[in-house]
Structure 1
Amino acid sequence: MSDHLGPYELLSRLGSGGFGEVHLALDPEGRTVAVKVLHPHVAADAGALARLAREVETMRRVGGPHVAEVLDASLDGGRPYLVTRYVQGRPLSAVPAPVEDLRRLAGGLADALLAMHEAGVVHRDLKPANVMMTEGEPVVIDFGIASALDTLAVTASGAVVGTPGYLAPEVLEGKPVGMEADVFSFGATLAYAATGRQPYGQGPASAIAYRVVHHPPDLEGVPAWLEPLLRECLAADPAVRPTAARICALLDVAPLSHTPPALRRPSRAADEENTREWRPGRDPRRKSVEESMARHREKVRRRWLIGSGLFVSLLAAAANEPLPEVSLFLLAAYTLAVVADAGVALFSRSPYKRSRMIIDVVCVAGAAGLCYGLTAMVSTFTLALFAGTALVLGIVFLLSA
């Protein structure tokens, strides 16, 4: 049974982090979103929540294809939560490393870094676990949360603000922290993606923190085109590190629009839909769970329809000369099944109704035509041999499925 949190319907738990538990959810318009419900010890810290509330509006100004935009937030109830764009994929920490297309990853992360810093947001916890890989593109999640919730009460309650090995030296030493800390984390994350190793090794958190402050990173195996940039990013002195804009220039990353849909000014030619006030989930390119499932079901149905038509036409062609009645029975049975499917489509509300009925008609005609074409061109023995092989393969496939 699904749970509701405000206007959002929680569908399933995606995972848990230092600050909250993330759920896949539907917004009031049926769009998929990610809802992060803050842990009770975080929700009990009034100061942390007040700081997060002040930061939310700034966080909502961060947009672009490589960041998971903050869409909504409710921080004054019994279960405070944040709502972001849902990114389907795997975290960089779960992707085999070294990453195959390192240039694409570096460019996407640089663009995300620029988008955050242009809006005045410091991520504070950039690491492989907070970079989602979707169709080869990186998308940064959870930006601004660690920075906004970095208070003594929250930290003492058990939330780890940052991850050893990806935190800049100034963070570990308690010095003032700015955007340069994100540049350090960017370099450490890319170093991991390039080598498959933590740039400051493994072990107890205290040992890793000591290496970050007192030792150079391990960049052995990093490609020659990337190593100089990573050494700049991982410099112990924040003033030496490049800015996000310089990183983009060095990587030849083309400037992209970082204005989220909520704040884009519509053109004069925009229609009424585009000039409405923004609400969570209004991006028309984002498909709901129901739409994605319907599309997948239609794809599977087409494959089975075409595959079974080929199989039936082969069997019917093999049986046509010795057993014409069996051949007609197979074609009639297939036709009846497809007609029944077309009848279901006729009374359904599926967006694929018309194409479904067209494919049904084409499959029936194609199966009959292929059957009699094979009968005329191929010998009965050869057809029987192919039909027997197809039957065995079909049974094996069904058993394995």
Structure 2
Amino acid sequence: MSEQLGPYRLLSRLGAGGFGEVHLALDTEGRTVAVKILHPHVAADDAALTRLAREVETMRRVRGPRVAEVLDASLDGERPYLVTRYVQGKPLSAVTVPVADLRLLASGLAEALSAMHEAGVTHRDLKPANVMMADGEPVVIDFGIALALDSLSVTASGAVIGTPGYLAPELLEGREAGIEADVFSFGATLAYAATGREPYGKGPASAVAYRVVHHEPDLDGVPEWLAPLLRECLARDPAARPTAARICAVLGATPAPRGSHPRNPSSGTARPPVLVADPHAEPTREWQPGGRRNVDLERALHREKVRRRWVIGSGLFVSLLAAAAREPLPEVSLFLLSAFALAIVADVGVALVSRRPFKNRRMVADLATIAGTGALWFGLSTFFSPMTLAIFAGTALVAGVVFLMSA
């Protein structure tokens, strides 16, 4: 039985990390989202929650197809949680490496890095486990959370604020770190994806951290077009690392629009904008779907494609059955065709009186399917025997059942 958390209906547990447990959920409009419920020891830290609430306002400004946008947050209840776009796929740490399309991965991660830094957000924990591969393309998740929850009481309770081998040397040494640390993590993540090996080897966390600070990374096997860039990204000196904009230029990626967020002129580090309390400002919990228009449109388009395939497949199967029954059972044949046509016409009528997207396209496609089903029925019954058509129909039925079970 599903559980209700605020306005979200939790469907299934997706996994857990250092800061919380992630659930697949539905929002009030039936859209899938990812809900991260903070662990009790994190939720008990008032200072960490206050800092996270402040940072969420900045994190919500990160937009782009390569990042899982923060949509909502509720941090004042018994079970504080964050809500992000749900990304269906596997983390980079769980896919086969070296990855097949390294250029696509590199450019996608560069675009995500640019989107975060231009919005004034530092990820702080970029690593293969936080890069979801959706249809071969990367989407970065959990940005900003590690930085916002980097407090003494939270880390003392066992939360992990980073993974040695992907954390920059300045973080491991306790020095001040900015967006340059993300560039280091970007380089380490790509090195892993290109070689299938950890760039600083495996072993105890202390040993890996020592190699990060004192040794050069293992880049054997990295393609020549990528190796020079990764060497720059993995430089021990933060000032020697390239910016996200330069990485995008080298890889031919599309950088985020510039100039919308202030920067510190002395260091070039992106800083979160100063937030002033405004009684008329949009509260964090009342997120507006305007920024998700493209995502919702893509989902609606995907649902329409799936529906169209079902309609066409059903028309093919009905035409086979009706053609097989035309000679021995003509009444059954006509009944099948009529029932199919009436069902499609009824669906077209519902679409016309509703506000569903693509209703005109749906009407044309459905009417064409009805006509095509009738034409196919006539052709099949004319050129094939009932026995042959019955065998075809049985084969199609078995194939459909097997497909549904495997899906």
Q: TM-score when scaled to structure 1?
A: 0.81
Matched residue of 2:13: which SS?
A: strand
Residues 15 and 180 of structure 1, relative CA distance in 2, 3 Å threshold: same
Letter in 1 for 2:129: A
Equivalent residue number for residue 275 of structure 2: none
Note if contact 2:20-2:38 (Cα within 8 Å) is conserved in structure 1. yes
Identity of aligned residues (%): 58
Equivalent residue number for residue 184 of structure 1: 184
1:325 aligns with 2:319: no
- Deviation, structure 1 residue 392: 6.2
Which structure has more relative contact order (CA 8 Å, sep 6+)? It is 1
Cα-to-partner distance string for 1:232-278 (whole Å, 9 max, x where unaligned): 11122222211212212222323344879xxxxxxxxxxxxxxxxx8
- Deviation, structure 1 residue 147: 0.8
Residues 399 and 250 of structure 1, relative CA distance in 2, 3 Å threshold: closer
* Larger gyration radius, structure 1 or structure 2: 1
User: Which of 334, 337, 353 is residue 335 of structure 1 equivalent to?
Assistant: 337
- Deviation, structure 1 residue 344: 5.6
Matched residue of 2:14: which SS?
A: strand
- Deviation, structure 1 residue 230: 0.5
Letter in 1 for 2:315: I
- Deviation, structure 1 residue 45: 0.9
1:302 aligns with 2:302: no
Matched residue of 1:25: which SS?
A: strand
Note if contact 2:110-2:244 (Cα within 8 Å) is conserved in structure 1. yes
The list of structure 1 runs, each at least 4 consecutive aligned residues, that deviate by more than 6 angstroms after superposition, is none
Partners in 2 of 1:210 and 1:251 — Cα distance? 30
Equivalent residue number for residue 295 of structure 2: 286
Partners in 2 of 1:10 and 1:210 — Cα distance? 42
Partners in 2 of 1:50 and 1:399 — Cα distance? 52
Cα-to-partner distance string for 1:99-132 (whole Å, 9 max, x where unaligned): 2221121111112112222222211100111112
Residues 67 and 293 of structure 1, relative CA distance in 2, 3 Å threshold: closer
Residues 17 and 281 of structure 1, relative CA distance in 2, 3 Å threshold: farther
Note if contact 1:66-1:111 (Cα within 8 Å) is conserved in structure 2. yes
Equivalent residue number for residue 266 of structure 2: none
Matched residue of 2:9: which SS?
A: strand
Partners in 1 of 2:293 and 2:37 — Cα distance? 26
Unaligned runs of 5+ in 1: 261-277
Residues 370 and 120 of structure 1, relative CA distance in 2, 3 Å threshold: same
- Deviation, structure 1 residue 186: 0.2
Residues 140 and 357 of structure 1, relative CA distance in 2, 3 Å threshold: closer
Partners in 2 of 1:257 and 1:29 — Cα distance? 30
Cα-to-partner distance string for 1:170-220 (whole Å, 9 max, x where unaligned): 212222222111111000000111112211222222222222222221111
Bigger CA drift: 118-127 or 251-260? 251-260
Cα-to-partner distance string for 1:19-46 (whole Å, 9 max, x where unaligned): 0112223333443322211110000011
Equivalent residue number for residue 245 of structure 1: 245
Partners in 2 of 1:290 and 1:55 — Cα distance? 29
Residues 136 and 280 of structure 1, relative CA distance in 2, 3 Å threshold: farther
1:165 aligns with 2:165: yes
Residues 199 and 99 of structure 1, relative CA distance in 2, 3 Å threshold: same
Equivalent residue number for residue 274 of structure 2: none
Equivalenced residue count is 370
Matched residue of 2:106: which SS?
A: helix
Letter in 1 for 2:375: G
User: Which of 382, 396, 399 is residue 397 of structure 1 equivalent to?
Assistant: 399
- Deviation, structure 1 residue 373: 4.1
Letter in 2 for 1:164: P
Unaligned runs of 5+ in 2: 262-285
Partners in 2 of 1:290 and 1:188 — Cα distance? 33
Residues 57 and 396 of structure 1, relative CA distance in 2, 3 Å threshold: closer
Cα-to-partner distance string for 1:311-339 (whole Å, 9 max, x where unaligned): 336635xxx7xxx334x356235324424
Mapping of 1:220-239 within 5 angstroms?
220-239=220-239
Equivalent residue number for residue 378 of structure 2: 369
Residues 252 and 339 of structure 1, relative CA distance in 2, 3 Å threshold: closer
